[in-house]
Amino acid sequence: MPSTPPQISPVEEQEKYLHDALGVVKAQAFHMKRALDKNKLMDALKNASAMLAELRTSLLSPKSYYELYMAITDELRHMELYLVDEFQKGRKVPDLYELVQYAGNIVPRLYLLITVGLVYIKTNTSLRRDLLKDLVEMCRGVQHPLRGLFLRNYLLQCTRNVLPDAPDTDVDCPEGTVKDSIDFVLMNFAEMNKLWVRMQHQGHSRDRHNREREREELRILVGTNLVRLSQLESVTLEKYQKSVLPGILEQVVSCRDAIAQEYLMECVIQVFPDEFHIQTLNPFLKSCAELEAGVNVKNIVISLIERLAAFSQRSDALGSEGVNILQEVQLFEVFSNQVSSIIANREYLPPEDMVALQVALVNLALKCYPDRIDYIDKVMLSSVEVLQRLGLEHLESHTPVAKELQKLLKIPLDNYNSLLMVLKLKHYAGLMQHLDYLGRKALSIYILNNALEHETIIPTAEESEQALTLLNTLVTDKNEHPIGELDMEELAEEQCLLARFIHQLRSNEPDDQYLILTSARKFCHQTITALVKAELAELPLRLFLQGALAIDQIGFENHETVAYEFMSQAFSLYEDEISDSKAQLAAITLIVGSLEQISCFSEENSDPLRTQCALAASKLLKKPDQCRGVATCSHLFWSGKSLASKGEETHDGKHVVECLKKGLRIAKQCMDTSVQVQLFVELLNHYIYFFEKGNDQVDVEILNQLIKKIGDELANLESSDEAEQISKHFSNTLAHLKLRMESPDGDRDVYRGIKLNPDGVVETEKEKVDA
Amino acid sequence: SFFGFGQSAEIEVYLDGQETRKTAEVKTEDGKKERLLLYYDGETVSGKVNISLKKPGSKLEHQGIKIEFIGQIEMYYDRGNHHEFISLVKELARPGEMIAHTSYPFEFSCVEKPFEVYTGANVRLRYFLRVTIIRRLADIVKEIDIAVHTLSSYPEMNNSIKMEVGIEDCLHIEFEYNKSKYHLKDVIVGKIYFLLVRIKIKHMEIAIIKRETTGSGPNTFTENVTIAKYEIMDGAPVRGESIPIRVFLAGYELTPTMRDINKKFSVRYFLNLVLMDTEDRRYFKQQEITLWRKGDKLRKPNLQSPAIMAGTQNLQNTMQQYQQTEPDEADEDASSKAPVKEDFTRAPANSQSSDRLDKAAMSDPFDHRVSSPTRESPESGIQNMTREAGDGQNDNGNETAE
């Protein structure tokens, strides 16, 4: 095999190059310092030049180059200190500024020139203006991006404490004024930016990623120019408006480089004071609209908005001055207009960014103009317009734009914590419609939670209507719902929330309350219907019944019809959906119980319902169930109310007895005697109940028959736990009767004739009680 | 004297005011430098010749003693023939005998010294005093070289050099040097403006080339020497970039331009603007500049003066002019509107190895390696260079190097 040199990785290679270079630097710096100690300036300059020649390299990555640069400029400081010292002692080196320019290579030459130039400036300020001009101009000679950037960074570093910062004057001022500093830094900035941008276009396109990373590492060098400008105290608002900002923006826009534009705009926002931003919004935002397609304009604008929003809060705290600015500047209008034009101009702006901009606008409006709800609505409207123009409907909830939209819609809620305020936004609901089903649902739940948490009371019908329209995703329009993904628990929870919310709809004014509930009703019905569709039978059954009960209590127009509708829905549910016999019994009991309580039905409605109940009861699968069902139904005819009875109990004794007789018949058909006896006892209780209530169809005879019958059957029962229980139940019943008979007050006579079986047990019990 | 027989004498020449007279460094033929007393045209050269006898007490017989003032041109390839353009003789003593140390004053008053001393690759121009004790067998001779500088007054015409050059569709630049005539301690200030850049430029330098031409007709010899290489740009510029030039001449070994000195030789200087691309191809453009010597007294080394910055800012007119007039269009349009007035010369990559910046050391006063100028190879292609007539400078049209 041919021998190949050992492969070394690029990282190791970099380390090696850097190490070698640093070695040279160390050696030359050592000699330089020795020469300076011996006052041999020429020798020292030669060493410095040799040291600086290391910066001519093209082998190093930006990172390594930076390390090398730092090492070298550190050493150069010795030279500078020495020269300043010498100059101050009056030992001037003639033509030093010229002397260093004999260096044949431009990179070391310019570093030396800057170093010496700085010494001249420090020791003789009358040269300052011209020297600064000269240095920044001469640096043009280095067009290599990396080397140029660092060279100019050195220039910037060296001059940081000597930039003239005096206000402009009319007289010629060789020491320079702030204008000279601005020109100086702006020029350096423009040149550095050009170099930085140029890096993007060097080398192979496959290295683009690397290049961009390297550029990121270097961006601070460019940004330092802006920092320097911001540190000039004589840069007043006027100067900023007239020369600083236009200079920066001109360069930023014209460089046509997305990375640079994004970073620099961000920089401008960060380094200059808010007092300046607030007065220069238009030019700044105008420039934002002119940036490259790849620039994340959203972030820039948002960061500005956030800063100014925060600023406005601070200035509020400070007093009237900041407020005046806010009024004068019309922050919101300016942003709103500029954001619209940015959105209009930048076709490539992703929709989520457009929405995010609206989010920022809303935040701004909320912070700066908390009482201007029309601003919020304006944003909502423009968002709707944007989405419509883009033809974006039913945004899928996982998409970024939908997420942004969610955010946008939640902000007013989070801020006001009042659904009522949100309802004042005319375009809120319209905007919400751009979400898909899941999105709307999630938002609706969010709204509900918010309203419940803050106990928002919805006081008028109109608002209730709006609120419920807003939330209608939860109740209707399930067409969009993905089939088969329904989570029952989730659904129940949602509906529960909704139900709780309905309680928030209330008013002190009865009229209003009535109207509110009218609108609420529709939604109840829709809600329950929705649940039915969800094949969850029992819950909706209960809800229907409760709905009917509630409606019964509320005397609104045609509530009877509505209640009837609810009841019949309950029945059809019972018939169609409930198949388990136990559940059926429970359901029928519920229905009966509800019906019994409802008083709003006219005869023509209540009769069929009662009959229906009785019929349903008698059709239950198991005999005992039938029996119990029918017995329960009997109460409908007694204590049930209707319009016919004017809300009084019906007291239809005949029907009651029919029901109970039917119960007896059914009980007799039971094969199991213990069950039979139990049913008899239960029926006896029903009878006794009606007897006591004064049903003239129930007489002593019937009771006696039944008691006798039970007594007979009970004797035949084999003793068991069950039998024990039944006999206990029976004797309790008898004890009750006996108590009644012996009761001193009331209608003792009615009970006369009831033959309580001379069962010792009962007697003894009684005696014990007496004793 | 032979075998120690007879008397021998030592000649010493004392020049008036030599303790205070300014000196100048002059190169000898073998490349060494010596300091010589400096005279100017029309200055009197006077002094004393002291002759001391080596054997005191015995006499020295001679056929006469004379002193000559000679200005001559020596061609290295023609050693036998020296061309004396000045030859003045003064007799110091008639034939006779000398018995003691003797001193003879002499004076060449208001001597015309039309040329500057010069030591070049093929030719040398020198002035010297020669004292000869004429003897029968062997003359005793002593030669003393002096330096002569020719001073000029400010040139009346001193236009800037401004030119647009390029290679079609490849590279168009405009360059400007602030003057066409520079004194030896002058500063060249200029600017390169890039109109079109379609090649990957690595760097750009300005070289000062000295061209020595000797002989005439078929026996013409030309020697190009790069006196200085001065990097003025590192990296690749883009269109619209303007690069400043500032070269201090004082640090280099330069002589005034000499044209057709006594019909024997010429020394001329050129500024060579060289661009090198990433594939080491060189593009260059030579411009002759005239160098002249200004009286030293006039030079004020005033480091407090902003003159040290030699205002590159003053040349911004070019750039501004372009920025104003040039519409913001693509390169193609810009180039079509800016007609190429002159071509760059492009040297093949392999022909200039001696001259590449990355290898050859730059002429750097901080760097010992480059204290002597590099000699340029004869093929340094300035062929095919065309010049447009009448751009104001010099009249040397199409040049051939060979």
- Residue A138: closest C-alpha in chain B: B244
Question: Which band of pLDDT confidence, cut at 50, 70 and 90, is reported for residue A597?
Answer: confident
Report the DSSP beta bridge partners of residue B131: B67, B142
- Determine the pLDDT at residue B322: 42
Burial (CB count within 10 angstroms: exposed 0-12, middle 13-18, buried 19+), residue A649 = middle
Please name the helix (run of DSSP H) or strand (run of DSSP E) that holds residue B175, with its range, or none: strand B171-177
B240 touches chain A (CB under 8 A): no
Task: Name the CA radius of gyration of chain A, rounded.
Answer: 46
The region of weakest confidence among A170-184, A243-257, A491-505, B35-49 is A491-505
B303 touches chain A (CB under 8 A): yes
CB B209 within 8 A of CB B272: yes
- Determine the pLDDT at residue A581: 75
Give dist(CA B123, CA B143) in Å, integer.
Answer: 19
| pLDDT tens per residue across span B69-97 | 999 999 988 888 899 999 999 999 999 98
Give dist(CA A597, CA A566) in Å, integer.
Answer: 14
Residue B298 has pLDDT above 70, yes or no: no
Test B309 with A97 for CB contact under 8 angstroms.
yes
- Determine the pLDDT at residue B110: 94
Residue B366 has pLDDT above 80, yes or no: no
Please name the helix (run of DSSP H) or strand (run of DSSP E) that holds residue A593, with its range, or none: helix A581-597
Please name the helix (run of DSSP H) or strand (run of DSSP E) that holds residue A258, with its range, or none: helix A258-271
Instruction: Specify the higher pLDDT residue, A709 or A478.
Output: A709
A79 touches chain B (CB under 8 A): no
- Half-sphere exposure (CA, 13 Å, Cβ side) for B194? 24
Give dist(CA A139, CA A151) in Å, integer.
Answer: 8
Q: How far is A37 from chain B (nearest CA, A)?
A: 19
Question: Which band of pLDDT confidence, cut at 50, 70 and 90, is reported for residue A2?
Answer: low
Question: Which band of pLDDT confidence, cut at 50, 70 and 90, is reported for residue A100?
Answer: very high
Test A134 with B313 for CB contact under 8 angstroms.
yes
Q: What is the mean pLDDT of chain B?
A: 78
Residue B314 has pLDDT above 50, yes or no: no
CB A432 within 8 A of CB A482: no
| pLDDT tens per residue across span B209-266 | 999 999 888 889 999 999 999 999 999 999 999 999 999 999 899 999 999 999 999 9
Give dist(CA A138, CA A154) in Å, integer.
Answer: 13
Test A49 with B235 for CB contact under 8 angstroms.
no
Integer CA distances (angstroms), B208 to A101, B93, B139, B249, in order: 16, 50, 45, 9
- Residue A199: closest C-alpha in chain B: B236
Question: Which band of pLDDT confidence, cut at 50, 70 and 90, is reported for residue A243?
Answer: very high
- Determine the pLDDT at residue A326: 65
> What average pLDDT does range A586-615 have in this prediction?
77
A644 touches chain B (CB under 8 A): no
At position B249, the amino acid (one-letter code) is L
- Determine the pLDDT at residue A517: 60
Test A141 with B251 for CB contact under 8 angstroms.
no
Integer CA distances (angstroms), A401 to A353, A395, A396, B14, in order: 8, 7, 9, 100
Whether ipTM exceeds 0.90: no
> What average pLDDT does range A509-538 have in this prediction?
57
Give dist(CA B245, CA B272) in Å, integer.
Answer: 13
- pTM of the prediction? 0.71
Residue with tokens 């005439």: B216
Question: Which band of pLDDT confidence, cut at 50, 70 and 90, is reported for residue A643?
Answer: low
Residue A658 has pLDDT above 50, yes or no: yes
> What average pLDDT does range A53-59 have in this prediction?
94
- Determine the pLDDT at residue B363: 42
Other CB atoms closer than 10 Å to residue A760's CB: what's the count? 9
- Determine the pLDDT at residue B400: 36
> Which residues in chain A (33-52) have CB-CB distances under 8 A to chain B?
45-46, 49-50
CB B170 within 8 A of CB B199: yes
Residue A156 has pLDDT above 90, yes or no: yes
Both tokens of residue A515?
């109207």
| pLDDT tens per residue across span A403-422 | 888 888 888 888 888 888 88
Give every CB contact of residue B219 below 8 A, 6+ residues apart in sequence: none
Give every CB contact of residue A7 below 8 A, 6+ residues apart in sequence: none
